[in-house]
Amino acid sequence: MQVREILNTDIAPLKTMDTVALALTKLDLLHTTKFPVVDESKLIGMVSLETLIEVENEQVLISQVPLDDNISLPQEQHLFEATRKMLSHELFILPVVDSENNFLGVIKKREVLEALGNLFNLESFGSVLTIEMMPYDFTLSEMIRIIESEDAKILGVAVQQPGENNDFYRVSVKLSIEDSSAVSAALQRYGYVVTSQISSATIEKDFSDRADELIRYLDI
């Protein structure tokens, strides 16, 4: 999925001739701490709440306020890269530009989350298995073959790489069936370590509370 598919063109950027007061109002309404600034149609940077609140006179123009680095994405970029950039820069709104740095619109964190949900079929009923695999055992093809041999369809796969606190890959697999016990047993017969089985009912209950955790989990 590309960024263009969730592009929001209704949110106008700040202009250099706008006031600090207007900028503060926009940031407050959109619940964000950084917002894009354009000069004519060109994106020139992001203004931050931290900088704005230090300005004593709110009638000062944005052109007189220091801007943060120009952070943006091309509309052809993949959703995964948009997610990574939003996380690394702690953004709720990310500007989208064309090849000449003309402002095209923004993507919002909420729309990114919803798009990730669609991409991984999170709203489809079924179940999720979590499987732990050591790096030297990591291969998806064999695992997929075992799962499909139990008449289950894979709706989505997410892979968490080894990190400081663990030496294994953690693979989460969304399945088309609600009872994944047969699939789990088959995987265990082949030596796979299944650490959890969750049905759609549990997923639906926990989804809203774990929205931000999902985006961080997909920081790839």
Q: What is the CATH number of the domain that holds 86?
A: 3.10.580.10
pLDDT of 195-217, one tens digit each?
888 765 555 444 444 555 555 55
Does one domain contain both 110 and 126?
no
Q: Which of 60-69, 116-125, 166-175, 206-215 has the lowest average pLDDT?
A: 206-215
Structural domain harbouring 68: 3-117
CB 163 within 8 A of CB 204: no
For the four alpha carbons of 196, 197, 203 and 206, in that order, the dihedral sign comes to negative
Number of domains in the chain: 2
DSSP H helices, 53-174, are: 79-88, 109-119, 140-149
- Do 9 and 108 lie in a common domain? yes
Residues 136 and 63 in one domain: no
Q: Are residues 147 and 81 located together in one domain of the fold?
A: no
> What percentage of residues in the chain have a pLDDT greater than 70?
87
Last residue of one domain, picked from the residues 99, 117, 135: 117
Asked whether residue 30 falls in the same domain as residue 91, the answer is yes
Residue 30 has pLDDT above 50, yes or no: yes
Which of 68, 83, 117 finishes a domain?
117
Tens-digit pLDDT profile for residues 94-146: 999 999 999 999 999 888 888 877 766 666 677 888 898 888 777 888 888 99
